Chain A
Amino acid sequence: MLKFTRRHMLTGLLAATTAFGFAAVPGFADDRNSVKIGYAVSKSGANATGAGITTIPNYKLWIKGVNASGGLELPDGTRLLIEVVEYDDRSQTEEVVRAIQRLATKDKVDLILPPWGTGFNLAIAPLMDKFDYPHLAVTAVTDKAPEFAKRWDKSFWFLGGGSDYAEALADVLGASRDAGKINNKVAMISVADGFGIDLVNAARPALEEKGFELAYDVSYPLGTSDFAAIVNDAQSSGADSFVAFSYPPGTFGVTKQAQVAGYNPKVFYTGVGGAFPVFKKISGGQQEGVMGIGGVQSGSEAIQEYFANHTDVIGNPPDSWASAVTYTSLQILQEAIRRVGLDREAIAEEIASGEFETIMGKVSLENNQLRSLWWAGQWQGATFAAIAPADSNGAVAPVIPKPAWR
């Protein structure tokens, strides 16, 4: 992006920009030859890792695919290439808000794709509503999604809430306990940050309702790198199930520590990061049987094709939680444009009410939320296969006990 600073202006560029400025203004609706799509994501700072795994690769993959096929198709069959306006929010909420304002008022983009992360999506939701852009809040996990969807009628929530994941886990554990595979005790750790707190607060009542005893239940601060003492205490708690509502560094740290300590609970469940492709490397190829958030329908051809395509274009496979959902949201957007054109009001209406063929199968939103999601998965062979909800089409049965670390 070219950005003109005051100094440029002063040094006489002002005249030049005014003179050439007219040529740069996008044409009017009738003679347009591209669709301007803008987004602000964390390309640097603390959120760069999350955005760099889930959000940015899927935007790139989708845009590349669409443009390679001639562009976005409109109802009359014409195609328009996507022109991208991209900003780095540097992992700061005030930056993302400023960028959205700029995209809407200065760049006057046709559509805005969401940033990465729950907090960032919540931060821009009122703005997206104010400027009348459909808001596909994909990487936002919140139990308040129904409320938000009502408040901002063009906002769409794609990743469920903390209680969905926690209750699904309780279901998986409950069924295994009833089948006599695990005992009644659970050792649970959680990161003391938004996501960890949300999940653990939902998991406590859900597990207790299933009759589980929380033999070990502690939270640890964000940034903890050493899990020796925690794993040691979890090990001596006598629980067959170990649950960590963790962020990637914690997920990886606790996995490595469990391997060193020879801690082999029958269920080993980790939070964000367990479904990342890098997890295989981190566990030294011993990911088999590790459970976690998310999951993909391992038997689906569309998913396999998506994984292959992603690997081909981006250089590495997608994560098995929010990546496929992100791509799905883009497919929904693309199809909605094909059906109703570029009118934002109409797009939002179509997304809310239509049914779409995506890599996750046929999906439609309920009250502006995607609910046909996978809440828990498990590494089985090369894939992080979906295990919950168990009654959904394509779910596999969990393998319990997990094979011991070598």
Chain B
Amino acid sequence: MLVSNLLFGLVLGGTYALVALGLSMQYGISRIMNLAHGEFMIAAAFCAYILFDYANLSPLVTLFIAPVIGFGVSWLIYTVMMHPLVKRAASRGQLEADSILATFGLLFVLQGVMLVVFGSDFTSYSYLNTPVNIFGVIIAASRVIALVLSLTLGGGLYFLITHTRWGATLRAVAFSPESAPLVGIEVDKVARTAFAIGGALAASGGVLVSMFVTFSAAGGVVFTMKALIIVIMGGVGNLMGALVAGLTLGVIETFVTSYVDPGLSLASTYLLFIIVLLWRPQGLFGSARS
């Protein structure tokens, strides 16, 4: 029982972490709170669905296509839409406020387009909804893949950011966008790249989640909400934090579901969120900033 719940929890948490990685990147480094994050995921999910249903293309193949598109589109959005905001923002706070408003608008544009193109119906398909036996616990293969991928992507990017020169520039921009240019870092370029990588992560998350979650054109906000909590909880801009926070939420939700009451699973998420905010307002892995 304990083992099965732990595994169920980790697998669910893997999905959560996957949902949050992209937003963590965009908010943490580019300082853009992308409220249209969920819509990006939904768009990628539809992409996977269409390719699977009409071209018989495995979502695992789409997993390599969608992030490229996500990267490109996010790059474009940053250049066209976010860049003017970044340029005119007097302070970090103002950029955050402006980007929230701008991406809030983007959310409705994307949702509207998807509603027109795909309709409002629930969409779902089954891929790799096959049982896998791990330590005697039966789990859907698609969910295991999601866990593995979130660990790989989250861990891999975390390593790159903490151990490479490129990562150091990212951290510099995240930590002090005002001083980064002093050491020759093009803040705007780095922020744009980070935003685009975030878009690619969101796309890969969308493709994976589409294999086992029912989605609809209007359902992006669910992902955004979850991602927001995880990003804030893990520490803004810290991918390892997002990964750990996501996994923790998954395990706690599953334990509460099984041992306490499923009705309290969501409440436990928010309770944990409040506790973390009170105890470490900068998030589990965040560094204290003024």
A226 to B10, alpha carbons, bound, how many Å? 12
- Identify 14 new A-B residue pairs, CB closer than 8 A, beyond the known A49-B122, A282-B126: A44-B115, A46-B218, A49-B121, A52-B120, A53-B122, A218-B261, A226-B254, A228-B254, A233-B258, A248-B214, A256-B140, A261-B131, A278-B122, A281-B125
Given A45-B218, A256-B212, decide whether A192 and B263 contact each other with a Cβ distance below 8 A: yes
Chain B interface size band reads 35 or more
Contact B8 A232 (CB under 8 A): yes
**By the criterion CB–CB under 8 Å, are A221 and B265 in contact?**
yes
Q: Which residues of B contact A256 (CB under 8 A)?
A: 126, 129, 140, 212
Q: Name the one of B5, B125, B214, B261 contacting A249, with C-beta atoms under 8 angstroms.
A: B214
Total A-B residue contacts, Cβ distance less than 8 Å:
121
Which A217-247 residues sit within 8 Å CB-CB of chain B? 218-221, 223-226, 228-230, 232-233
Cα of A219 to Cα of B262 in the assembled complex, Å: 6
Chain A to chain B contacts (Cβ below 8 Å), 29 pairs: A44-B108, A44-B111, A44-B112, A48-B115, A48-B217, A49-B120, A49-B122, A52-B120, A53-B120, A192-B263, A218-B261, A221-B263, A223-B222, A223-B266, A224-B266, A225-B213, A228-B8, A229-B8, A230-B257, A232-B258, A233-B258, A248-B214, A249-B214, A256-B126, A257-B140, A260-B138, A262-B138, A282-B126, A284-B129
User: In the complex, are the beta carbons of B112 and A229 less than 8 A apart?
Assistant: no
Interface size on A, residues (CB 8 A): 43
Bound form: Cα–Cα A189–B265 in Å? 14
Binding site for A on B (CB under 8 A): 4-5, 8, 11-12, 15, 108, 111-112, 115, 119-126, 129-131, 138-140, 212-214, 216-219, 222, 250, 253-254, 257-258, 261-263, 265-267
B110 nearest CB across to chain A (Å)? 11
Knowing A218-B263, A261-B131, A282-B214 are in contact, say whether A228-B139 is a contact too (CB < 8 A): yes
Check if A228 sits within 8 Å of B124, measured CB to CB: no
> Which residues of A come within 8 Å of B, CB atoms?
43-46, 48-49, 51-53, 91, 189, 192, 218-221, 223-226, 228-230, 232-233, 248-249, 252-253, 256-257, 259-262, 273, 276, 278, 281-284, 316
* Minimum distance in angstroms from A111 CB to a CB of chain B: 24
Contact of B216 among A49, A282, A283, A316 (CB under 8 A): A49
Whether B125 pairs with A48 at a CB distance below 8 angstroms is: no
